[in-house]
Amino acid sequence: MASRRRVLLKVIILGDSGVGKTSLMNQYVNRKFSNQYKATIGADFLTKEVQFEDRIFTLQIWDTAGQERFQSLGVAFYRGADCCVLVYDVNVAKSFDNLNNWREEFLIQASPPDPENFPFVVLGNKIDVDGGNSRVVSEKKAKAWCASKGNIPYFETSAKEGFNVEAAFECIAKNALKNEPEEELYLPDAIDMAGGQQQRSAGCEC
C-alpha cells in the first residue's frame, strides 16, 4: 500500500507558553537556539527525516503557532496526531501542573481510537537554568506523574544546551511510528494538490 500514511508522522508539541516548545523543535531540527524569547510568531511546522530499520519516515513536528496562549488551539491542530509531546519548564510549577489539562484537552479534541495507549512523551525543559538552582519540579515528581498516566516516557532536556533533545525526539519518533492509524481515512488516498499547477519552490519564505 503506497499510502502517505506510512511515511509521514504527525507530532504535536503542547505545553504552556514560554516552556520552550519552539526552541526544542528548532534545536532538534536545525540545531539552533536563540536566547531571545518572544511569543511564537511565524512558527508553523518543521520536518525531519528519520530512519528506522532501513525505512525513511518524515517526522512533521507542529508548533502551536501561539494559539496555546489563550487555550485556543482548534480541533484541527490535534487531528491525526501520531504522538503528542507534553512540555513543561522545570523552573515553573504551574507549567507542570497544567500538563494534566493539556493531556486531557488532547484526548478530548483528538479523540484517538485507543486513548489508553495513545503515545505521549513528556519533556521537562530548561534544566540548565541557574545551574539547576531555580528548579521547583523534581525529576521524581515528574516521573511519578508519568507513571500514573500509563508510563509515559520522560526526558529532562535543555533546548539551550541541546542536552537530551536528540534522544527525546528519537523516542518521540519511535512512539509515533507505533501508533496505529485509522486506515479508512487513507483509503483512498487524499487528493494530491501539490501536483495541481502549484508553484513549487525549494526555499522557505524567510
Partner 1 sequence: MEEAESYPPIDPSNFDLIVIGTGLPESIVASAASAAGKTVLHLDSNPFYGSHSASLPLNDFIPFIQSESQPQSRNLTSDDYVSTPVATRPLYSAVETNSYSSEPTENSRKFNLDLAGPRVLLCSDSMIDLILKTGINQYMEFKSVDASFISSADGGLENVPDSRSAIFKNRGLSLTEKNQLMKFFKLVQRHLGDDETEDDKISDQDLESPFVEFLTKIGLSQKLKSIILYTIVLADYDQENLEACKDVISTKSGISRLALYHSSIGRFPNANGAIIYPIYGQGELPQAFCRRAAVKGCIYVLRMPVVAILNDKDSGEYKGIKLVSGQELFSPKLIIAPSFTIPSTPNHDAQVANSDDVSLSDTKKVARGICITKHSLNTQVANCLVFFPPRSLYLEQSTSVRVLQLSSNVAVCPSGMFVTYLSAMCDDNVQGKKLLNAAINALFSVPISGNSENSGASNLSEHAEEKPCLLWSTLYIQELTTFQGGLDSISKTPMPDEHLHYTDLLDATEKIFKEIYPNEEFFPSINVSNDDEGGGSELDS
- Please write down the long-range contacts of 32-36, taking CB distance under 8 Å and 24 or more positions apart: 33/159, 33/160, 33/162, 35/160
Question: Cβ neighbours of residue 26 under 8 Å, at least 6 residues apart?
Answer: 32, 33, 34, 46, 159
Distance between start and end Cα atoms, the chain? 37
Residue type, 24: L
> Is residue 30 involved in binding partner 1 (CB under 8 A)?
yes
* Interface residue with partner 1, options 31, 32, 55, 94 (CB under 8 A): 32
Give the nearest distance from C-beta 136 to partner 1 in angstroms.
22
Q: Which amino acid is at 62?
A: W
CB of 83 to partner 1, least distance (A): 17
Q: Does 56 bind partner 1 (CB under 8 A)?
A: no
114 binds partner 1 (CB under 8 A): no
C-alpha cell at 167: 534522544
What is the size of the binding site for partner 1 (CB under 8 A)?
51
Cβ–Cβ under 8 Å, residues 58 and 52: no
C-beta of 179: minimal distance to partner 1 in Å? 16
The answer to the question of residue 55 lying near partner 1 (CB under 8 A) is: no
Give the binding range for partner 1 (CB under 8 A) out of 81-89, 133-141, 169-177, 181-189: 181-189
Q: Which residues are within 8 A (CB) of 2 and not within 5 positions of it... i.e. 6 or more apart?
A: 189
Of the candidate residues 18, 50, 60, 174, the single one contacting partner 1 (CB under 8 A): 60
Stretch that binds partner 1, among 34-42, 91-99, 131-139, 158-166 (CB under 8 A): 34-42
Q: What are 11's three cell numbers?
A: 507530532
**Half-sphere exposure of 29 toward its Cβ, with a 13 Å CA cutoff?**
19
Q: Give the binding range for partner 1 (CB under 8 A) out of 45-53, 90-98, 114-122, 168-176.
A: 45-53
Q: Given the rule CB under 8 A, which residues bind partner 1?
A: 22, 25-26, 30, 32, 34, 41-47, 58, 60, 63, 65-67, 69-72, 74-77, 79, 111, 184-185, 187-206
